[in-house]
């Protein structure tokens, strides 16, 4: 088969469409013939040499795919050749074939195009595990989503509304109308306004990290929950513990990729039970900015790093 490999750590030009050995499904795994792969920030970090694949994952980029089951390993039940599926991966999605633990495979939701489904597993698992499972967002609460125009952001906005929350997003002004169209109640242009003076939130989903830490704690209501899932604004920030204690607030940081397979399977199970019905009913939909042939992965990475896209970028295979 062919896969996108990294000639050397660096910029998008380091990506190459290369012939590599075919994977085979081990016991408990499903082999997927890839139709499309989602493009994520973690892929760019890996390309730069800063985020290697876990030891049990292929070395290639790609944390989510859609496609058709080619074969199943020993002990796999519920999946069979020919089924249209999507899957959460530890790596290896930028390829023609990928083997993945059966517990990380999902059916393609009703009414969702097979290619577009590649943009769902990573964002759905990330948002569910943080906003629903960890932060316990409740109807009537306020959810603040940073990076509202990203793949995670566009999914979080829709899920927050589906759960009955008031949703506020930060984003560039050019993305405001589209976020309102997805259900956001308010959109704050982070370049023109200090969001900490504009909103009070019960739950904050943050991709920035250090540079937003103080403002995020300022934003929290009493009993609020801040979940940090990215460090685009740096690894370090100043935390006023007195303020945190006075608000009886929670600050948590999580990642998804390096979790043990059993934890990932539990998250995927929760996604299927609680989130997939919302997709089946059309209450949430994948938001796709554009598709690129997989051989043009370098261009997809350039667009990703420009921050000018809205929603997900996909690589199509075949």
Has residue 211 got a pLDDT over 90? no
Residue 195: CB atoms within 10 A of its CB come to 22
Percent of the chain with pLDDT over 70: 100
Q: 6-59 pLDDT, tens per residue?
A: 999 999 999 999 999 999 999 999 999 999 999 999 999 999 999 988 888 899
What is the structure's pLDDT at 230? 87
**Burial (Cβ within 10 Å: 0-12, 13-18, ≥19) of residue 164:** exposed
Beta carbons of 174 and 148 less than 8 angstroms apart: no
What is the structure's pLDDT at 60? 94
The span from the CA of 275 to the CA of 112, in Å, is 14
What is the structure's pLDDT at 233? 79
What's the distance, CA 75 to chain centroid?
A: 29
What is the structure's pLDDT at 208? 86
Alpha helices in 149-289 (DSSP H): 151-162, 176-182, 213-219, 241-247, 261-270, 276-280
Beta carbons of 185 and 157 less than 8 angstroms apart: no
Q: 212-254 pLDDT, tens per residue?
A: 899 999 999 999 999 999 888 788 888 889 998 999 999 999 9
Q: 76-107 pLDDT, tens per residue?
A: 999 999 999 999 999 999 999 999 999 999 99
197 CB-near residues (< 8 Å, 6+ apart): none
Q: 307-317 pLDDT, tens per residue?
A: 999 999 999 99
Tokens at 237, concatenated: 């920030």
**Distances in Å between the alpha carbon of 110 and those of 267, 269, 281, 285?**
20, 17, 8, 10
**Burial (Cβ within 10 Å: 0-12, 13-18, ≥19) of residue 20:** middle
Q: What is the pTM of this model?
A: 0.95
Has residue 299 got a pLDDT over 90? yes
Mean pLDDT over the full length of the chain: 96
Beta carbons of 279 and 128 less than 8 angstroms apart: no
Average of pLDDT values for 129-140?
98
Average of pLDDT values for 153-170?
98
Beta carbons of 226 and 240 less than 8 angstroms apart: no
Has residue 143 got a pLDDT over 90? yes
What is the structure's pLDDT at 20? 96
Beta carbons of 110 and 280 less than 8 angstroms apart: yes
What is the structure's pLDDT at 310? 97
């Amino acid at each position: 088969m062919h896969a996108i490999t990294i000639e050397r750590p660096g910029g998008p030009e380091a990506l190459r469409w290369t012939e590599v050995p075919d994977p085979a499904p081990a016991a408990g795994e499903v082999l997927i013939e890839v139709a499309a792969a989602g493009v994520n920030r973690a892929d760019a970090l890996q390309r730069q040499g800063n985020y290697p694949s876990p030891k049990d994952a292929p070395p290639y980029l790609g944390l989510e795919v859609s496609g058709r089951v080619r074969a199943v390993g020993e002990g796999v039940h519920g999946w069979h050749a020919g089924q249209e599926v999507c899957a959460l991966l530890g790596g290896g999605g930028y390829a023609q074939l990928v083997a993945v633990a059966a517990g990380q495979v999902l059916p393609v939701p009703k009414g969702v195009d097979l290619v577009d489904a590649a943009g769902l597993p990573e964002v759905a698992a990330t948002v569910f595990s943080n906003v629903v499972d960890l932060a316990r967002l409740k109807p009537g609460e306020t959810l603040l989503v940073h990076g509202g125009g990203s793949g995670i952001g566009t999914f979080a906005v829709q899920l927050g509304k589906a759960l009955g929350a008031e949703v506020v997003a930060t984003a560039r002004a050019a993305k405001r109308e589209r976020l309102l169209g997805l259900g956001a109640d308010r959109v704050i242009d982070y370049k023109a306004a200090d969001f900490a003076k504009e909103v009070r939130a019960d739950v904050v989903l943050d991709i920035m990290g250090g540079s937003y830490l103080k403002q995020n704690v300022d934003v929290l209501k009493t009993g609020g929950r801040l979940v940090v899932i990215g460090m685009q604004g740096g690894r370090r920030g100043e935390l006023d513990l007195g303020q945190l204690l006075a608000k009886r607030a929670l600050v948590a940081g999580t990642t998804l990729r390096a979790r043990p397979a059993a934890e990932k399977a539990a998250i995927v199970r929760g996604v299927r039970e609680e989130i997939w019905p919302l997709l089946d009913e059309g209450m949430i939909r994948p938001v796709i900015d554009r598709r690129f042939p997989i051989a043009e992965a370098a261009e997809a990475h350039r667009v990703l790093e420009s921050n000018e896209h809205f929603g997900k970028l996909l690589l199509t295979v075949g």
